[in-house]
Amino acid sequence: VDEIELFAALRPETGANLAGQRERARDRLADAMSDSTARTSARRTTRRLGGLNPSARAAFAVSGAALAVGGAVVLPTVLAPGRPGSLVTSAWAVQPRRDGTVKVTIKDASDPAGLQRALRSAGVRAIVVSHREVPLKKVGDIWAVTLACGYPTTGKLFEPAAVQRAVVTPGPAGGAVRPSEVIAFIHPAAMPAGSVLFIVDTFSVLQNGTRVLSVTMPAVLRSSQAPRCAPQRGQVPPPVGIPSPVPSPSSPVPAPSGGPLPPPTPVPTRSSSPLPPPTPTPVPTRSSSPLPPPTPTPVPTRSSSPIPTPTPS
């Protein structure tokens, strides 16, 4: 008896259903390769531009929150190679796939209107709410932007769990995925008539002033009526290090309940940053709810100012 052969005989059987796993892995690889190609081209362009100064880089890395008030709203957009309709920005990406699903990657939902538009042109009706548009709430010792509406799937506004599972497939957990990043595969064909995808990103402000951004997994609303987010009373913590993106509690932000979302506010360019001036974001005229059906309108390409992907915070 050979010792090595003894161990060889212990190898578990591994033959069944290889093809399915292989094809899924191939799709993930193709997606990641197109992402990495896009990021590489963005990095190259940045080098040509002389690169960002460290403070601008850090501000961008902290979260979209930092950009919302003090920084320029620059949404670098690079068209990913591959499927038509793919749109990759440094904050999020929408990538239609061969099998009819749409891969959505969100680091933060700054420019909610742009993300909403990209999803719609990929055939997914969606409402995107950015942390800038939801009120602040104190939870214990930390300040947090929360939705007081039973998010994600317990409220009456949401489709039942079976529909959620059919429409939203969470992306790979762990491995190459960063903790602050959400990846989901959306199946537009499985969305019931009238239903709308709901995406919200939130952030928490810890006692030391650190802001922790988190994006929730997309969920399916029964209609375009989004959860009501009641403004919270309380004192807004002083900004530490970065400008506060938090709206003052004395002027509560209108909740995105059933009505059109407020357009993102235009923001002045930060003078210390060598970033190019912000491209005026074309905000589509939004009629009152319900949302119009998705139209295959081409998404405008803003190729003027690619900057590198923010590092995970």
Least distance to another protein, CB of residue 312, Å: 17
Interface residue with another protein, options 21, 53, 265, 311 (CB under 8 A)? 21
Least distance to another protein, CB of residue 283, Å: 36
x-or-dash pattern for another protein, window 62-91, by CB under 8 A?
Answer: ------------------------------
Determine, following the binding rule CB under 8 A, whether residue 8 of this chain makes contact with another protein.
yes
E strands in 187-307: 196-205, 211-215, 219-221
Least distance to another protein, CB of residue 77, Å: 21
Interface positions, 224-253, toward another protein (CB under 8 A): none
Least distance to another protein, CB of residue 7, Å: 4
Which is it for strands 126-129 and 196-205: parallel, antiparallel or unpaired? parallel
For residue 251, give every residue at least 6 positions away whose Cβ sits within 8 Å of its Cβ, in sequence order, or none: none
**What distance in Å separates the CA atoms of residue 225 and residue 260, rounded to the nearest whole number?**
9
Nearer to another protein, 28 or 222 (CB): 28
Query: Which amino acid is residue 13, in one-letter code?
Result: E
Least distance to another protein, CB of residue 179, Å: 15
Least distance to another protein, CB of residue 18, Å: 6
Determine, following the binding rule CB under 8 A, whether residue 266 of this chain makes contact with another protein.
no
Q: Cα separations (Å) of 281 from 117, 153, 265, 311? A: 12, 32, 10, 24
Least distance to another protein, CB of residue 49, Å: 24
Of 301, 304, 246, whose CA–CA distance to 275 is shortest? 304
Determine, following the binding rule CB under 8 A, whether residue 43 of this chain makes contact with another protein.
no
Determine, following the binding rule CB under 8 A, whether residue 25 of this chain makes contact with another protein.
yes
Nearer to another protein, 170 or 274 (CB): 170
For residue 206, give every residue at least 6 positions away whose Cβ sits within 8 Å of its Cβ, in sequence order, or none: 142, 212
Determine, following the binding rule CB under 8 A, whether residue 18 of this chain makes contact with another protein.
yes
The site for another protein, by CB under 8 A, has a size of 31
Interface positions, 138-197, toward another protein (CB under 8 A): 172, 174-176
**What distance in Å separates the CA atoms of residue 200 and residue 229, rounded to the nearest whole number?**
12
Determine, following the binding rule CB under 8 A, whether residue 14 of this chain makes contact with another protein.
yes
Of 63, 117, 36, whose CA–CA distance to 301 is shortest? 117
**What distance in Å separates the CA atoms of residue 307 and residue 81, rounded to the nearest whole number?**
17
CA dihedral 152, 158, 161, 164 (to 10 degrees): -80
Q: Retrieve residue 245's tokens.
A: 């993106």
Determine, following the binding rule CB under 8 A, whether residue 44 of this chain makes contact with another protein.
no
**What distance in Å separates the CA atoms of residue 231 and residue 106, rounded to the nearest whole number?**
25
Nearer to another protein, 6 or 193 (CB): 6
Q: Retrieve residue 162's tokens.
A: 């079976």
Interface residue with another protein, options 24, 44, 47, 233 (CB under 8 A)? 24
Question: Are 167 and 99 in contact, with CB atoms under 8 Å apart?
Answer: no
Nearer to another protein, 25 or 230 (CB): 25
Least distance to another protein, CB of residue 299, Å: 24
Q: Which residues bind another protein (CB under 8 A)?
A: 1-12, 14-15, 17-18, 21-22, 24-26, 28-29, 32-33, 36-37, 172, 174-176
